[in-house]
Amino acid sequence: MEQINAINFAPFPKKGVLGSANAKISVEKMIARTGVSHVILTPAGLQDEPQSTDIDFKGPGSPDDGELADLIKYIQKLKNPLGRQVQVIMKPTVNCKNGVWRAYINFLDVGTPEESAWGLWFKSHEKFQLHYAKIARETGCVMFIAGCEMCSSERRDKEWRRLIAKVKAEFKGPVSYNTDKYHEDQVSWWDAVDVISSSGYYPTGTWEAQLDRIEKVVKRYGKPFFFAEIGSMSTRGSQYEPNSWRIQGPADAADQETWYREMFEHTKKRPWVEGYGFWSWGADLYDPDQALNQRHYDLYAKPAEKVVRKYFTAKK
């Protein structure tokens, strides 16, 4: 697999966001300033709560198909600082409208009528994923990631294998699934995908142990691996709990920069880590003079952006 140097752009865009002039300006700046080779797009499907079985991807919380396709084609015409044409990866992601993390989407397995709820949910999830797999095929996306951090559902081996098979019938490029941190060795159906990916929100000081654990999974299945999500907020203390939005410290871009430097220091020594999808870069950019006052994952105009650019544009 070719190296993936990516950023998740405009995550979970509502209708109208991707078609805006601001989105095009922002994605151009992202490519020019960081040197990405790939852009990851994450159209959202929304269900009311973790125990809902219907996923809506036609409402205002999801992008219009036309604007999504137009942005993909726009990105594909752009070149990064190394003169390479930028490619797009599609990663449709389910979220809950009530704010509960998608990892908790779950139903009882046996002994109650809720067993049928898994069937209803997977039927809706297949419809959602296949809709975007078709768009990804038609627009020439180079990879499709069929789900993200669906931890409680991952034990449903049979249903996930069926979903992956249907996605592969629709999308002819490599297909991945993005599990969550610490779950790389909990998925039993990695043999069904072409690429293993996970969310690498690992705390400072733990990288070697986590990479040793993930490496065993990669070797067992003989599949390429990359971090489809990875990052840390520019909030003091985030480097020790980079997956958490609940950190309430002050803005601290140096904390974020420290995490990025350490992450690269450890992962670049592991040749099986074949890429990154950093979280994240917004469609609407804040004033760069205010970058050091921003507390979230965005990289724009922060010291961590320069760290990413140095790695992404380094001559191999």
**Residuewise pLDDT in 10s, the chain (316 residues):** 999 999 999 999 999 999 999 999 999 999 999 999 999 999 999 999 999 999 999 999 999 999 999 999 999 999 999 999 999 999 999 999 999 999 999 998 876 666 689 999 999 999 999 999 999 999 999 999 999 999 999 999 999 999 999 999 999 999 999 999 999 999 999 999 999 999 999 999 999 999 999 999 999 999 999 999 999 999 999 999 999 988 989 999 999 999 999 999 999 999 999 999 999 999 999 999 999 999 999 999 999 999 999 999 997 6
Residue pair 171/205 in contact (Cβ under 8 Å)? The answer is no
CA distance 129 to 163: 8
Residue pair 5/276 in contact (Cβ under 8 Å)? The answer is yes
Which CATH superfamily is 4-312 part of?
Answer: Glycosidases (3.20.20.80)
Residue pair 145/166 in contact (Cβ under 8 Å)? The answer is no
Backbone angles phi, psi at 159, to 5 degrees: -70, -40
Strands 195-199 and 175-179: parallel
Q: Would you state the pLDDT for residue 116?
A: 86
306 CB contacts (<8 Å, ≥6 apart)? none
Q: Would you state the pLDDT for residue 110?
A: 76
**Among candidate residues 210, 209, 190, 191, the one with its CA nearest the CA of residue 199:** 210
Q: Where are the beta strands (DSSP E) in 71-203?
A: 87-90, 93-96, 143-148, 175-179, 195-199
**Among candidate residues 11, 3, 6, 13, the one with its CA nearest the CA of residue 30:** 6
Can you give the pTM of this predicted structure? 0.97
Give the other-Cβ count within 10 Å of 219's Cβ.
11
Structure tokens at 69: 């396709």
Q: Would you state the pLDDT for residue 231?
A: 98
Task: Region of 269 please: left (phi>0), alpha (psi -120 to 50) or beta.
Answer: alpha
